[in-house]
Structures are given as C-alpha cells and as structure tokens.
Amino acid sequence: MVKKMIQAKKETIHALGIDIGIYTADFENEYISLTDIARFRSSDPRITIHSWLRNRDVVDFLGLWEALHNTDFKRSEFDTFKKDAGSNAFTFSIKKWTDEMGAVGIVSKSGRYGGGIFAHSDIAMEFASWISPEFKLYIVKDYRRLKSDENSRLSLNWNLNREISKLNYRIHTDAIKGKLILPQLTSMQKSFVYADEADLLNVALFGETAKEWRDENPDKKGNIRDYADIPHLLVLANLESYNAILIKEGVPQSERLVKLRETAESQLGTILSLDLQKPILIENGTKRIGK
C-alpha cells in the first residue's frame, strides 16, 4: 500500500527552468508538486490543476489508481462521486476526495514555502502529459537522474555500514571464542554457540531469529542482515562490540539480551531522529549534520 506523505523529505528536480518539488518518505512513493508542474502553462496553477481534475477520464484514472494501491479507498462513495464528472457543474474537491473517500494519491499541503497540491508520481506524470508531452519528457529525464543519484548514495552508505558490521562481527566472534567455546566441544557444537550468539543480536535488534526470518521470507536470498537498512546496520555494529564486552565480563546471556534490547531501542531512536542523508560537516573540530 502507498504511504501517505507524512514526515517526508523534500527533493527538487528541474525541467526547462522550472523547479519541481518532490516529497518522499521512502523514495519509492514520491509525491510530486502538481503546482510546480502547472506553472509551465499558467501563472495560476490551481485553476489549471482543477481544470484537469474535472475531466471524466481523469477521475476514472484516479479511481482506478486508488483501487489498485489503496486498500482504504471507499469505492462505493467513488461510484457516486464520479457520476457528475465531466459535466459543467462538476467540481473536484481535493478535501472531499481525501476525507470522504480515503484517497491518498493527491494531497494538498499548506504552507507559504513548500505548500501546494501534490500527487503520487504515477498521477503527476499523467498530469505532466496533459500539460505538455515535451515538458513531461524533461521531467522524466531529471526524475531518473534524481533516482539514480539517490540509489547510488544509499547503496554506498549501505555497503559501508555492512562492512563496518562485518568488522565488528570479528570482534564479536573472537570474544565468543575466548570465553564461550570450551575445548571439549565438537565443531558442530561450536557452530551452535556462534549461531546462538548471532541470534541473540538478531532478537535484540530485529525481534526474531535468523530461522524465523527465513521461514517468513522463503523467496528471499541471504539473511536478515542483508535486508537491514542503514540505521539498523549502524546499531548492529554497536551491539556486536557491546556484546563482546559483556561476554568478556561474564554477564549471563539472559541479562545480556535485556541490556542489548535496551541499547538497540535507545540507539535506533537517536539515529532515526537524524537525517542520515545529509553530509557530515566538520567545524572547529566538531562533527555535525549538514543542512
């Protein structure tokens, strides 16, 4: 299901000299500014947008899009709503569309700066085609550039943090080898000890063991950590180091799980409150998140 435009990050694409705002929470469900797109044709974007929304074909398209992507969409109310679409008396109310029908594809965002009417990228591209096929192609070109840049940056950050986690994994396994692996254990028994400690971290951070994750995701290759996002990988690296210290101090596993869960929750809360996409700047020897 498509996510609503909540606590989203703003990006900007450029087409024929016009800046077009994009809000995204996960970079899969972007909301593009129809207001900015409409400025290509008119100095009064709102009138242009509502002229487009009055078309019967557009209303049918919006209803179909919601039916495909939004499980909360009220189809019975939509059937009543669309009866007058295309007539001279028909007016498309975005507030009614969202409030009464539970639609999420088009939203109105208030605010002097960054406000306007936004639509999911699927819908925004349809609007851009109506405005100008040529203009749409320029939008698509820079939109793809933005997607490529973002995906490359996320991939680099993910791989970097995955490697950091692997380094801490060595610290973790060395602690297990030094304190928990007894000489009389067989190779199979030793592997169970390592796996048990790895799952201790999985439960503390992800809330489930590796086997539980595999059972839930039979079609995915790799393991639960391969699908972790950057914040979780950062915390995982810290948990591996912390658990290594606790093991060396002789803390029982049950107590370590409690401490690790508390640490994971605390660190995730802190990391998620930051914008990790912003660069790290150094001023007077102090690191801070760039604007």
Q: Specify the pLDDT at position 283.
A: 38
Q: Which residue has the higher pLDDT, 246 or 89?
A: 246
Q: Which residue, 50, 46, 32, 133, is CA-closest to 90?
A: 50
User: Residue 268 class from Cβ within 10 Å (0-12 exposed, 13-18 middle, 19+ buried)?
Assistant: middle
- Pairing type for strands 280-283 and 116-120 reads unpaired
Cα end-to-end span (Å), the chain: 31
Distance, CA of 142 to CA of 21 (rounded, Å): 12
Residue 48 has pLDDT above 50, yes or no: yes
Residue 100 has pLDDT above 50, yes or no: yes
Q: Could you report the per-residue pLDDT of 76-99, keeping only the tens digit for each?
A: 888 888 887 877 778 888 888 898
Q: Could you report the per-residue pLDDT of 108-147, keeping only the tens digit for each?
A: 887 665 678 999 988 999 999 999 989 898 888 888 877 7
Report CA-CA distances (Å) from 118 to 35, 45, 115, 124, 134.
Answer: 7, 12, 9, 8, 21
Distance, CA of 290 to CA of 53 (rounded, Å): 40
Residue 51 has pLDDT above 50, yes or no: yes
Distance, CA of 109 to CA of 33 (rounded, Å): 10
Q: Give the residue-averaged pLDDT of 7-18.
A: 75
> Is there a contact between 78 and 96 (Cβ–Cβ < 8 Å)?
no
